[in-house]
């Protein structure tokens, strides 16, 4: 090796040291209070966010940086300990165990590599179907690291199905509320936050299923007095909307069909005539009753008349 090549290699090593020092070679620097960080060569917001376990958007907001801002060596950034956990795809160098978005205490969770929706549901004891519904995730097996998952308040427990559809979904003409027409940049989450309405209510009332978003020009009904944005509506609220839409008074209870359940089995469990349940929900084909269907069980229905064991 000649002396020129040796000097060139030495320069490369020296230039790379500042970057490496922020990664594996650096001592642990768990962010517990606000710090001022001095930008070094080849830094970017994502690298800094991964180093401190801080969400990039929060760094940008704290320091009034525009989207796409280019950092220069010597720039000083305030890294706030109140920022949520890092939400990018890079490995986190100094994970904060109690960071917002890490424990779910703030109603959100940042997906880490190898996470699945089922595991997240088990950890937080939240129905996987509810997580899909709230976050617009059709396939829980395909989660990207850094995705921010919303954890709704009062959601059904893990293993249970939430109300995903009304057995007898009416027009909402008689329900107080307003209609909103979506624009090109709208997302369901943005709309739900803007009108302070549970995204689940928004989905069920407008029959949106798991669609992550809706096309521009879609008319969405926003019912008045619905569960707020960070909450999860109970089936009775959804059926109350149904009753108000039909101009009828609702008296009874609401049951959400779970996996392996049938209308006959629900009738036996509640000791209610299953033919009355079918009629009350306008069900003509029981094969169309799927897990997640919210059924109204009228108080006036008589006792069960089938062949199953009552009360089981």
pLDDT value of position 20: 35
Query: Of the given ranges (18-27, 184-193, 294-303), which has the lowest mean pLDDT?
Result: 18-27
pLDDT tens-digit map of 80-134: 998 888 888 888 899 888 888 888 888 888 887 788 899 999 999 999 988 988 8
- pTM score, two decimals? 0.65
Residue-number span of the structural domain to which 68 is assigned = 3-79
C-alpha pair distances (Å), 10 with each of 2, 3, 73, 161, 205: 13, 11, 21, 61, 66
Q: What percent of the chain has pLDDT over 70?
A: 83
Q: How confident is the model at residue 8, as a pLDDT?
A: 42
- Whether residue 191 lies inside any domain: the answer is yes
| Any domain includes 172 | yes
Q: State how far the Cα of 4 lies from the Cα of 92, in Å rounded to an integer.
A: 38
Whether residues 17 and 64 fall in one domain: yes
Q: Are 207 and 166 in contact (CB under 8 A)?
A: no
For residues 162-174, give the mean pLDDT.
Answer: 65
List the beta strands (DSSP E) in 21-68. Answer: 35-38
Rounded Cα–Cα distance for residues 40 and 19 (Å): 8
Residue 27 reports pLDDT greater than 70: no
Dihedral sign for Cα atoms in the order 287, 291, 294, 300: positive
Q: Which of 79, 97, 120 is the last residue of a domain?
A: 79
* Strand spans (E) along 111-202: 148-150, 165-166, 177-181
Residue of 9 and 120 predicted with greater confidence:
120
End-to-end CA distance of the chain, in Å?
84
Q: How many CA atoms lie within 13 A of 183 on its CB side?
A: 3
The answer to whether position 245 is within a domain reads: no
- Shared domain for 144 and 206, answered yes or no, is no
Q: What separation in angstroms does the CA of 31 have from each of 53, 80, 92, 100, 111?
A: 8, 8, 12, 12, 20
In a domain, 239, yes or no: no
> The tokens of 159 are what?
């293993």
| pLDDT given at position 17 | 31
Q: Are residue 256 and residue 309 in the same domain, yes or no?
A: yes
Residue 243 inside a domain? The answer is: no
For residue 191, which of 166, 212, 163 has the smallest C-alpha distance? 212
Domain boundary among 201, 233, 265: 233
- What percent of the chain is predicted at pLDDT more than 90? 27
207: left (phi over 0), alpha (psi -120 to 50) or beta: left
**Alpha carbons 125 and 82: distance in angstroms, whole number:** 25
Specify whether 13 is located in the same domain as 73.
Answer: yes
What is the average per-residue pLDDT within 33-55? 92
For the segment 174-228, what is each residue's pLDDT rounded down to a tens digit? 678 888 999 988 888 889 989 999 888 888 888 787 777 788 888 898 888 888 8
Characterize the bridge pairing of strands 293-298 and 165-166.
Answer: parallel
Please tell me whether residues 60 and 122 are part of one structural domain.
Answer: no
Residue 157 included in any domain: no
Within a domain: 244:
no
Residue 13 has pLDDT above 60, yes or no: no
**What's the structural domain count of the chain?**
4
221 CB contacts (<8 Å, ≥6 apart)?
A: 172, 175, 177, 178, 179, 205, 206
pLDDT of residue 263: 93
Q: Is 204 part of any domain?
A: yes
Residue 63 belongs to domain with CATH number: 3.10.350.10
**142-154 burial, b if ≥16 CB within 10 A, otherwise e?**
ebebbbbbbbbee
């Amino acid at each position: 090796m000649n002396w020129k090549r040796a000097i060139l290699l030495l320069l490369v090593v020296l230039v790379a040291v500042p970057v490496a020092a922020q990664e594996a070679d650096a001592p642990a620097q768990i962010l517990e209070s606000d710090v001022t960080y001095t930008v070094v060569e080849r830094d970017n917001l994502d690298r800094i966010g991964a180093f401190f376990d801080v969400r990039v958007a929060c760094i940008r907001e704290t320091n009034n940086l525009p989207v796409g801002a280019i950092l220069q060596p010597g720039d000083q950034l305030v890294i706030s300990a109140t920022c949520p956990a890092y939400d990018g795809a890079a490995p986190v160098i100094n994970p904060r165990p109690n960071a917002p978005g890490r424990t779910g205490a703030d109603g959100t969770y940042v997906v880490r590599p190898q996470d699945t929706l089922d595991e997240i549901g088990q950890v937080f004891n939240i129905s996987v179907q509810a997580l899909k519904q709230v976050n617009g995730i059709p396939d829980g097996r395909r989660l990207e690291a850094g995705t921010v998952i919303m954890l709704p308040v009062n959601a059904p427990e893990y293993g249970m199905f939430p109300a995903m559809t009304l057995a007898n979904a009416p027009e909402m003409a008689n329900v107080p509320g307003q209609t909103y027409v979506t624009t090109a940049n709208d997302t369901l989450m943005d709309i739900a936050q803007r009108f302070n309405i549970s995204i689940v209510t928004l989905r069920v009332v407008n029959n949106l299923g798991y669609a992550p978003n809706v096309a521009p020009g879609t008319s969405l009904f926003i019912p008045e007095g619905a569960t707020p944005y960070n909450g999860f509506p109970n089936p009775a609220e959804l059926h109350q909307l149904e009753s108000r839409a039909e101009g009828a008074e609702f008296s009874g209870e609401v049951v959400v069909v779970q996996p392996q359940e049938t209308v006959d089995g629900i009738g036996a469990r509640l000791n209610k005539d299953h033919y009355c349940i079918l009629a009350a929900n306008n069900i003509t084909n029981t094969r169309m009753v799927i897990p997640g269907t919210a059924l109204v069980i009228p108080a006036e229905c008589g006792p069960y008349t089938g062949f199953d064991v009552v009360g089981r």
